[in-house]
Structure 1
């Protein structure tokens, strides 16, 4: 029997590596070679989609990596390759952040401006990307949206991280998309808040001033229980690992959660906002 060949080290990009791995899996399948048409039928997609993916031409639908892993019994190979495709679509610092995020056992977020990416709907994300990239083509915006939505897969895994989110009340009230799209976004937010591993709180507008008032911040805790602090600003970002800095930021976050509405009160606040839209 012909042995499965490894992805060629000369492959120039993660997307090409994904395509090469798919072609290998299809042609060297233990149960017999699959044609592109046969694979498309099993994956409930089109032959042209399989051909395009094997040639390294974007996009790769977010559901297909898991489907390929199931068809070829590859134990997460295509999921891992797809994560690399997504991560390489961002600058180096963001790639490192997303790598830390994928491995995190706990994710804490504070956002005074927008709903965090892990909870964004497609329409909400599109509006943000369009505002931040006014000259981008529709294909470029679509690519950014796919990458954003692919990050949310970590919340749907077998062992999702413990997530704590504090949002300024203005985030809930700020309508950056249509009324219907904003209702959908708030409904998704409420749905995520009902998960056993997620706690969502809203910080009232009359809350006391706090150390984190300047901007959004994310805490990522690794399996070894080491926490880093990620700070985003206009087209810049920073990952701080200094233990003293992290401890100070964690204390400030704890103060923030004590000032925020309870999870139940926060859910009621969001539902009330949905009713006013």
Structure 2
């Protein structure tokens, strides 16, 4: 459901050689110094990745967060076939609560993702402003910097839908999610527009479950079905402060059937789009 973000702080200690944050910094420095032809300076690498020398320095010395758009640019400059992107995904996964980490690892490799969200816009579809508003409400004592890091990690997860071969993505959102004013009218207008954009993608099916729908088997909380390339689905369910991965075949079959029933009860794709557009125009 993505009510909250990762725990404050980073991955592991910089002294931990298994820490992906440290590995990313060391790989960056190594590839820069061994660049074909002649070594690149931090300034030259910064120019190639459209960032600053100070950012490259911080990345290589494991100080502060890694900008979300930097890893794919490093892969492009160094021709590393997704190495930096994978390390960044590990960094992001480690910063989430333990119950969310397996899901974070499963998402990038999933060929299909199906989600049901009864209370908030799913994390994979949230705008940065919407996510920030949720994080602020969930942790009112957090600093702006801590909240910004959480938002950055939430946005990084969305890369799974932006690649050249995104998974088949199906999502059902309760109508109440569209009506709930998160962060104010401007943030909600931006979020509704983002939903329209996502819903128009050929690999995405977005449906709205109307408030008039009856009782169903998934009323207790949110659920995600992640199917890997071997065809085996696993299910992630989430409560307010807890979550669980379910892979026992009979339980997966039962919950998947409940999702199918929910799909049949939800508004059709085009009708859902019209509802969202009408709410956006009226806002």
TM, length-normalised to structure 2: 0.92
Q: Tell me the distance in 2 between the aligned counterparts of 1:12 and 1:137.
A: 28
**SS of equivalent to 1:196:** coil
Worse-matched range after superposition: 55-64 or 120-129? 55-64
Tell me how far 1:149 sits from its aligned partner. 0.4
Q: Tell me the distance in 2 between the aligned counterparts of 1:261 and 1:153.
A: 27
Tell me how far 1:12 sits from its aligned partner. 5.5
Tell me how far 1:90 sits from its aligned partner. 1.3
Map of 2:27 onto structure 1: 21
Structure 1 position 99 matched with structure 2 position 99: no
Q: Tell me the distance in 2 between the aligned counterparts of 1:163 and 1:73.
A: 29
Worse-matched range after superposition: 147-156 or 61-70? 61-70
Correspondent of 1:245 among 238, 241, 251? 251
Superposed CA RMSD in Å reads: 1.4
Tell me how far 1:251 sits from its aligned partner. 1.1
Structure 1 position 50 matched with structure 2 position 53: no
Correspondent of 1:60 among 66, 80, 84? 66
Contact 2:225 2:235 in 1 (8 A): yes
Structure 1 position 32 matched with structure 2 position 38: yes
Q: Tell me the distance in 2 between the aligned counterparts of 1:165 and 1:70.
A: 32
Map of 2:155 onto structure 1: 149
Tell me how far 1:11 sits from its aligned partner. 2.4
Larger radius of gyration: 1
Correspondent of 1:74 among 61, 72, 80? 80
Q: Tell me the distance in 2 between the aligned counterparts of 1:204 and 1:250.
A: 20
Tell me how far 1:31 sits from its aligned partner. 2.0
CA offsets 1:174-200 (integer angstroms, 9 cap, x no match): 111221211111111111111111000
Instruction: Map residues 1-277 of structure 1 onto 2, 5 A cutoff.
Output: 11=17, 13-277=19-283
Contact 2:16 2:22 in 1 (8 A): no
Q: Tell me the distance in 2 between the aligned counterparts of 1:199 and 1:56.
A: 40
Contact 1:166 1:260 in 2 (8 A): yes
**SS of equivalent to 2:63:** coil
Tell me how far 1:91 sits from its aligned partner. 2.6
Tell me how far 1:225 sits from its aligned partner. 0.9
Aligned length in residues: 270
Unaligned runs of at least 5 residues, structure 2: 1-13
